[in-house]
Amino acid sequence: MMTTSEMGSLNRGRGETAQSDRLPITALLALALAGFVTILTEALPAGLLPQIGAGLEVSESLAGQLVTVYAIGSLLAAIPLMAATQGVRRRPLLLAAIIGFAIANTITTLSTSYVLTIAARFLAGVAAGLLWALLAGYAARMVPEHLKGRAIAIAMVGTPLALSLGVPAGTFLGVLVGWRICFGIMSLLALILVVWVRVKVPDFAGQSSGKRLTLKQVFVLPGIRSVLFAVLAFVLAHNILYTYIAPFLANANLAERTDLVLLVFGIAALVGIWVIGMLIDRYLRVLMLVSTVLFGLAALVLGVAGDMPLAVYGAVGAWGIAFGGSATLFQTALAKTAGEAADVAQSMLVTAWNVAIAGGGIVGGVLLDRLGASSFSPALLVLLTATLLVVLGARRHGFPVS
């Protein structure tokens, strides 16, 4: 028979196991809101260019540079900031990024100067570069190894929510009551988030000087380059199509229903991130392979039946499911591959992702001008085949067999 002390030890062990299997939902949702604010800050101007241009007394093309400058700030800041702050405690760094959004959006709300607004957008981009580099590693640190993928999925849910619901709602509100009020609301959200993070999100120490790795050392870790290449190719394929979805839809006489097509994409993306969040800790490699193949099949259908509305809606839904959880897949793969160097590795992912966004605009524009929208499908299939081959080859590191 067990003694009383032995029974007590057993019960404590069971309690510790139960505790370890419990996700810190409140803290993870704070990270999700941070992602929501980041994406909304980035994308909202695109839907309000006429109003912003009129408010700042510039053309719509100049107003569009508010999005460009944001992306440049994020692209330039992510790697240098993460490399420079490896030893800094994580929560103050996270709070600094969120406060950066509060300041930038407040300036945008009040500014009547185009130059000052551009400077504020660059600051917001820098804050975004820092925040995106932190999010996945932060979520992973809150939980044991077997829950890392699910934790990252919850922390990343703000992204598809912002794209599918936040941006359309913000655009509608901006047209109704003015674009400045929208940016003011985002400033308020950021301030609320500062308090939420300070109260509910745990702090973690930065890396000691003896454990810090240089950028080169992180880049050559086994599996890192495989994941980064997959990010670049997969996201480039997505952005070629997403950036020029309106002219592509003209082939099916759906150009005027672009909003509905994007709504289908957004809802499907939510389904994708939910499925991946449930399964990622056991089937990361399989999910990455399935997502790539599903996106490839969607691209193929769009290529051969892009003039049939029903086929287009079905393919866009499959594309949304495939892309919805991709950020979670890539960030989880990179976090597990990089280990203690996860934050530096994530900054490389942020850079690769933003290069793919910019590349999607450039490559897609060249294809559209030279060969027409019908060239998108073959281009996507080339990129996705390369992604599939790299993921298949990363059996030991990057996307390992479980």
Residues 119 and 161 in one domain: yes
CA dihedral 391, 396, 401, 402 (to 10 degrees): -130
Determine, yes or no, domain membership for 361: yes
For the segment 172-178, the average pLDDT, to the nearest whole number, is: 85
Residues 231 and 195 in one domain: no
pLDDT at 213 over 90: no
Instruction: Give the number of domains in the chain.
Output: 2
pLDDT in tens, 71-81: 888 888 888 88
pLDDT at 218 over 70: yes
pLDDT at 300 over 80: yes
- Model confidence at 7, pLDDT cuts 50, 70, 90, reads very low
- Model confidence at 208, pLDDT cuts 50, 70, 90, reads low
CATH assignment of the domain containing 287: 1.20.1250.20
Where a domain ends, among 166, 200, 234? 200
Residues 337 and 384 in one domain: yes
Half-sphere exposure of 329 (CA within 13 A, CB side): 31
Determine, yes or no, domain membership for 139: yes
Q: Which of 99-113, 279-293, 322-336 has the lowest mean pLDDT?
A: 322-336
The pTM of this model reads: 0.79
For the segment 16-44, the average pLDDT, to the nearest whole number, is: 82
Residues 140 and 247 in one domain: no
Residues 114 and 252 in one domain: no
Determine, yes or no, domain membership for 292: yes
Distance CA 241, CA 299 (A): 9
Residues 227 and 180 in one domain: no
pLDDT at 189 over 90: yes
- What is residue 67's predicted lDDT score, i.e. its pLDDT? 79
- What is residue 48's predicted lDDT score, i.e. its pLDDT? 81
Where a domain ends, among 144, 174, 200? 200
- Model confidence at 10, pLDDT cuts 50, 70, 90, reads very low
pLDDT at 9 over 70: no
pLDDT at 12 over 60: no
Residues 176 and 233 in one domain: no
Angstrom distances, CA of residue 311 to CA of 21, 197, 205: 42, 44, 51
- What is residue 92's predicted lDDT score, i.e. its pLDDT? 94
For the segment 89-111, the average pLDDT, to the nearest whole number, is: 95
Q: Whose structure tokens read 């060249």?
A: 366
Residues 133 and 249 in one domain: no
Question: What is the sign, positive or negative, of the torsion defined by CA atoms of 248, 250, 251, 257?
Answer: positive
Residues 313 and 337 in one domain: yes
Determine, yes or no, domain membership for 85: yes
Distance CA 381, CA 8 (A): 59
Q: Which of 240-244, 305-309, 315-319 has the lowest mean pLDDT?
A: 240-244
Residues 191 and 238 in one domain: no
Mean residue pLDDT across the chain: 86
Of 106, 80, 323, nearest in space to 215 by CA: 80
- What is residue 20's predicted lDDT score, i.e. its pLDDT? 59
- What is residue 14's predicted lDDT score, i.e. its pLDDT? 45
- Model confidence at 168, pLDDT cuts 50, 70, 90, reads confident
Percentage of the chain beyond pLDDT 90 is: 41
Determine, yes or no, domain membership for 389: yes
Range of the domain at 254: 215-393
Residues 370 and 256 in one domain: yes
Determine, yes or no, domain membership for 14: no
Where a domain ends, among 200, 234, 255? 200
Determine, yes or no, domain membership for 1: no
For the segment 131-154, the average pLDDT, to the nearest whole number, is: 86
- What is residue 362's predicted lDDT score, i.e. its pLDDT? 82
Determine, yes or no, domain membership for 344: yes
Residues 389 and 260 in one domain: yes
